[in-house]
Amino acid sequence: MADFGIRFFLCNIFICIIIGFLIIVKRVFKNYLTSRMQFNLWFLLLGILAVPFVPFRPASFTQVLALFGAWKNAASSNRGTITESFLDPKASGAANQMNDFALSVSRKTPSIIGLIFCGIWLVGILAMILSVIKSVSRLNAMKKSALPLQNNTVRILYHNCLKEMRIKRKIPVYSTAFLKSPVIVGLFNPRIYLPIHLISDFNAADMRYILLHELQHYRHKDALAGFFMNFFGILYWCNPCVWYALKEMRSDREVACDTSVLKLLDESDYENYGNTLINFAEKVSLTPFPLAFVSENNAAGISGSMKQLQQRIANISSYKKPSIVRKLKGLTAFATISIILSGLAPMLSTYAAEQNRYQWNIPSGKVSTIDLSAWFNGYKGSFVLYDLNGDTWKVYDMEQATLRTAPNSTYKIYDALFGLEEGVITPDDSFMAWDGTDYPFEAWNGNQDLLSAMQSSVNWYFEEIDKQASPSAIQDYIRKIGYGNEIVNANVSAYWMQGALKISPVEQVELLTALYNNQFDFAPENINAIKNSICLFPPENFSSEGINFYGKTGTGCVDGQDVNGWFVGYIEAAGNTYFFATNIQAAENATGSKASEISLSLLSHLGIWKQ
């Protein structure tokens, strides 16, 4: 919930930018877009306003989310609680020892800020709902006091309007003393309400224009549009840009409705229709949302604010039936704007940003699910195994296997590869001098090379690679190989530690396979250097020759608790290669070492590895 609060805040900033873009393009293309097209463009905005609450997968512009990651990890360099664990040589039967070191990152401050945002937002929504309830009660009171239309002359005129517009549904008409302007209300059971003074001051021409206007609202389902406008007005009560946009949408709705009426009239009647609006300008005023009659019975009427009426009069005075050429140009402009706005929509998905699930497209015949819950006792997690020769997959818990989470130190495999490709280090010279900073792990307090840094998971070594390679280069490499969600935040010292960068177990296995086969088209000597650095159990440690075990652990420690454990790798044995990834999550004690124990036990159970 705290994460959602911050992400929703960021989404609102970009929604304001999108609204500004929409207003600008509407003005640029106003001579080509018909009034109905200009109104329909606002429905694209309504769709965009829904995006933060629905499960989209971001297709582009993912760097927006990195702002949150940078904020969330601002305290990640604090060295408070630390984690130090080891792969047990006895348990694995191996001679080499792989250290699993992890620093704790803090989430306390961002969580509080996110909760504050959510709290304020929810309180505002509650206040808006109470206001809507009050408005609905006023609307119901008006309905109860209204009487069916008794004036026969008006009734005859109304039925003629229904025939003129070819509307078969008999929409009830009522008279009321509690309105200054005629309106049509009701989403499922529409009704037209006429003020008593309008009936008593009956003018046949004015009444016809009014009834045609209200029936145009019915024909174009404007009550449904009004419902969504009010709904998003509640959700985005704190965003003035959204409120301004919704106000403009209501104004464009009336202009579009006027234009629809003008299409039914003779050109000589345009001026009279405009005069009808002017006559109402002195008699009525429309109370702004949310004190207006809202809810599912959204009201749409012929009146409006003075500014809206001026805009509508200007539209009427300049109205000309659009030519075929103008319609084609308008449709082209409308389609172009729609494509642009649709392309921007996925970046606003807070659900996708929060859940970040990998969309795994693979034939079902290549994947089999297995029940390994007995090995994950007390942990939420998954195990993924890929058989290279058989081109088949075994997956435990598909839901968790495609859910992205922080890679922690498993990312260092690829960070080192990027450093090699950039020339920061080389296979023959990967030495880096320790700067004398006192670290909580003795293994970190000394000079390092690629092998020692990988075995002891030395953070400063890989941070130095990032600094020398530059964040932009690292981002480019991450995109090139398709690493998880491909998000790197501004804090280059911590983006893999419970930060913005996330990856799923399935993707871990796919990337290891791509690394093994050098599908990245990197220098072969660099690929071999990485393989050597993660070789845990070489053949000389086994009686059976030809077996190599490669792997890397990772531990995510948040506020002193180990909450995310990884073990990824592959085994070369008996003419085949098996790639695997194990991820475990819990409130505590979810370490890379524990993930490695589970992995070795599972690989033994599956007959791939002998402990």
Active site residue ranges:
409
Sequence-distant (6+) residues with CB within 8 A of 287 are: none
Q: Please check whether residue 142 is in contact with residue 176, taking contact to mean a CB–CB distance below 8 angstroms.
A: yes
Long-range contacts of the stretch 397-403 (C-beta < 8 A, 24+): 398/369, 400/505, 400/583, 400/585, 401/504, 401/505, 401/506, 402/357, 402/358, 402/359, 402/360, 402/504, 402/505, 402/506, 403/355, 403/356, 403/357, 403/358, 403/504
Q: Please name which of 92, 611, 599 lies closest in space to residue 385, comparing C-alpha atoms.
A: 599
CB atoms within 10 A of CB 306: 10
Which amino acid, residue 168?
Answer: K
User: Residue 161 has which token pair?
Assistant: 């309007």
CA dihedral 124, 127, 132, 133 (to 10 degrees): 150
- The SS3 call for residue 151 is coil
Q: Give, in order, the Cα–Cα distances in Å from 511 to each of 386, 402, 403, 526, 529.
A: 11, 14, 16, 16, 16
Give the residue among 564, 437, 428, 579 at the shortest CA–CA distance from 502: 564
Q: Specify the amino acid at residue 125.
A: I
Which H or E element spans position 140?
helix 108-145
- Full DSSP string of 274-314: HHHHHHHHTT--PPPTTSSS-SSS--EES---HHHHHHHHH
Angle at Cα 603 formed by Cα 598 and Cα 605, nearest 5°?
95
Question: Which ranges of 423-484 does DSSP label H, i.e. alpha helix?
Answer: 450-455, 459-469, 471-481
Q: How far apart are CA 116 and CA 109, in angstroms?
A: 11
Q: Are 462 and 373 in contact (CB under 8 A)?
A: no
Q: Both tokens of residue 129?
A: 């709902």
Task: Say if residues 185 and 299 touch (Cβ distance below 8 Å).
Answer: yes
> Pick from 330, 520, 275, 279: which is nearest to 418 by CA?
520
CB-based burial of residue 367 (10 Å sphere; 0-12 exposed, 13-18 middle, 19+ buried)?
middle
- Stretch (H or E) spanning 337: helix 324-344
User: Where are any strands of DSSP class E within 38-182?
Assistant: 82-86, 99-105, 147-148, 173-176
DSSP 400-416: HHTB-B--GGGGHHHHH
